[in-house]
């Protein structure tokens, strides 16, 4: 749990989560003990280079050096329209699971979701609960929809403007998901403008 929260903080410092940059995340997982031993420099002045190296390094993990890391694909409104059409009609050759990572009050008091088939899974719950690392039964009990398959499903993330969905996509990639899409426009683009949430 600490590792995921720390990742978001460190990544936002290092600029890894910057908008519209290509994003490659190593599928290898760092154990808590290996991260703890490498975090000794955090007690002194931190350097940006060190923060990036810890979370994007290739040390530790599997021996599949020839395996390509997951790629997060950014899509625009036209491509998102096509994806939602496939989701709503049950067509297409990919099994899309569309997830809105905004908070429920933000969704309900603002725009609503893009479709009835869009699942709500707020980014804070993904990070604090380690949602993508939960077992299938716990995931479904907690979030009221089946846990997407890391191998068979294509995760499509959306939020208000594309920033939080990019973070969620990176967390999914770190948890072993291979097929990941980020809708960069978010609800502001989909519903035609910025909304004031009260």
What is the model's pTM? Answer: 0.66
- What tens digit of pLDDT does each residue of 59-108 get? 444 455 456 678 899 999 999 999 999 999 988 888 999 999 999 999 98
- Cα angle for residues 34, 37, 41 (degrees, 5° grid): 130
- What tens digit of pLDDT does each residue of 98-157 get? 999 999 999 988 888 999 999 999 999 999 999 999 999 999 999 999 999 999 999 999
Please, is 72 exposed, middle or buried when counting C-beta atoms within 10 Å of its C-beta (0-12, 13-18, 19+)?
buried
Of the ranges 16-30, 36-50, 55-69, 82-96, which one carries the lowest mean pLDDT score? 36-50
3-state secondary structure 28-47: CCCCHHHHHHHHHHHHCCCC
Give the integer Cα–Cα distance in Å for 145 and 98. Answer: 11
């Amino acid at each position: 749990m600490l590792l995921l929260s720390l990742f978001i903080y460190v990544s936002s410092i290092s600029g890894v989560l910057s908008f519209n940059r290509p994003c490659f995340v190593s599928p290898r997982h760092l154990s808590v003990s290996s991260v703890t031993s490498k975090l000794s420099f955090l007690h002194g002045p931190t350097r940006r280079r060190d923060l990036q190296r810890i979370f994007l390094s290739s040390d530790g993990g599997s021996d599949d050096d020839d395996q390509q890391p997951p790629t997060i694909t950014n899509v625009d409104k036209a491509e998102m329209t096509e994806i939602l059409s496939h989701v709503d009609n049950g067509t297409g050759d990919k099994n899309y699971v569309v997830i809105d990572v905004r908070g429920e009050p933000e969704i309900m008091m603002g725009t609503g979701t893009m479709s009835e088939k869009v699942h709500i899974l707020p980014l804070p719950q993904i990070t604090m609960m380690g949602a993508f690392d939960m077992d299938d039964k716990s995931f479904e009990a907690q979030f009221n929809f089946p846990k997407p398959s890391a191998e068979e499903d294509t995760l499509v993330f959306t939020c208000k403007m594309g920033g939080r969905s990019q973070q969620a996509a990176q967390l999914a990639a770190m948890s072993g998901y291979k097929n990941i899409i980020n809708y960069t426009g978010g609800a502001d683009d989909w519903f035609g403008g910025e909304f004031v949430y009260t």
